[in-house]
Amino acid sequence: MRHKGSHRRSDLDEVLRGGFLCHLGVVVDGAPMVVPTVYGVDGDWLYVHGSVASRSLVQAPGAVVCVSVTQVDGLVLARSVFEHGVNYRSTMIYGVPRLVTEPEEKLRGLRALTEQSAPGQWEYVRRPSRKELAATALVAVGLGEASVKIASGPPDDGDGPDAGLGLWAGVLPVETRFGAPEADPLLPAGIEPPAHIAERAGRVLGR
């Protein structure tokens, strides 16, 4: 089976762990709008910054949004154009966004956002002041209505008539990795990246 659908929480968690960027879909003036934004997960909630989601919240309280998270694992290179495809893990999460107003949940949500891409960073840097916290719009979307799709494995036509063409077929893997940290040019000499950042260099996202 190249394609698998799932509603299991463990599959959802695996997809969400594998990245930090989602594509948030809202309806604005009747048209779809899809914006890339970072996300974080805490318990049964996915958190995103509210700048875009809140447009939808203001325009249409109670309107559903769609959050899509996708990790590409490889190109599926078959013997025919028709059988080409992509190996990926993705999730679509539907929910009515909830504006986070309670300061403690806001901190938890921002912590989740920060730790999603850079674990350890929340403890290392200066946390939001009361003023910054008030200036930050944060939105929560429940993880209850999420579906997961996973496509994996080699092309399907290895035992079909096209196998006789004598062409190479297989998968060209795709991997997203962190590189070596690049210091802010304004950083004074002698301040090295902390361990939780330095150790990420060369590592695949989410692992």
Does 134 interact with a second copy (rule: CB under 8 A)? Answer: no
Please tell me the distance from the alpha carbon of residue 176 to that of residue 168, in angstroms, as a whole number: 25
CB of 163 to a second copy, least distance (A): 7
Strand-pair category, 145-151 with 3-6: antiparallel
Count of CB atoms situated within 10 Å of the CB of 92: 16
* Helix, strand or coil, per DSSP, at residue 82: helix
CB of 116 to a second copy, least distance (A): 10
Q: Which of residues 6-35 bind a second copy (CB under 8 A)?
A: 21, 23-27, 30-35
Interacting span for a second copy (CB under 8 A) from 1-9, 40-48, 60-68, 97-105: 60-68
Q: Which two tokens stand for residue 122?
A: 């929340």
CB of 82 to a second copy, least distance (A): 4
Residues 6+ apart with CB under 8 A from 73: 87, 88, 89, 152, 173, 174
Does 1 interact with a second copy (rule: CB under 8 A)? Answer: no
Q: Which of residues 100-129 bind a second copy (CB under 8 A)?
A: 110, 114, 117-118, 121-122, 124-129
